Amino acid sequence: MKYVRKHKGEIVNLGGLEMQFAPLTIGIVKNIDEILNVLFKEGNIEKQIEVVVELAYLSLKRNYDDITREEVENLITFEDIENVTQALFKSSGFVKNMGDESEQKKT
């Protein structure tokens, strides 16, 4: 997988690889209400995983031209989902740090 740094973003270790998540574009997140509803609504975990994988793929594709959706699916483990979701939201400017309550209170 060839890395071409085009966009800064959050770095997450996936399967021993340091992957840099680029900010999501407006075109990708224009339906953010639907995305958040799927991600944070209890229930259909399969749909939640699909959304995380799709967003991760679209983000990573901005820095890794030849990465495939299948590769992204195979890089992300179940225990990586929270870190990937945080990286997507942080790199795109939605939150400063989802895990740091003191940062959340400042905004």
Confidence check: pLDDT of 48 > 90: no
What local confidence, expressed as pLDDT, does residue 67 receive?
Answer: 94
* pLDDT averaged over every residue in the chain: 83
How many CA atoms lie less than 13 Å away from 85 in the CB half-sphere? 18
Task: Give the global pTM.
Answer: 0.79
C-beta separation of 4 from 63 below 8 A = yes
- Domain segments of the chain: what residues? 10-97
Q: What is the pLDDT of residues 17-27, one digit of tens each?
A: 999 999 998 88
Distances (CA, A) of 63 to 9, 23, 29, 39, 69: 10, 10, 18, 24, 14
- Give the mean pLDDT of 32-54: 82
Closest CA relative to residue 39, chosen from 29, 50, 27, 30: 50
What local confidence, expressed as pLDDT, does residue 99 receive?
Answer: 54
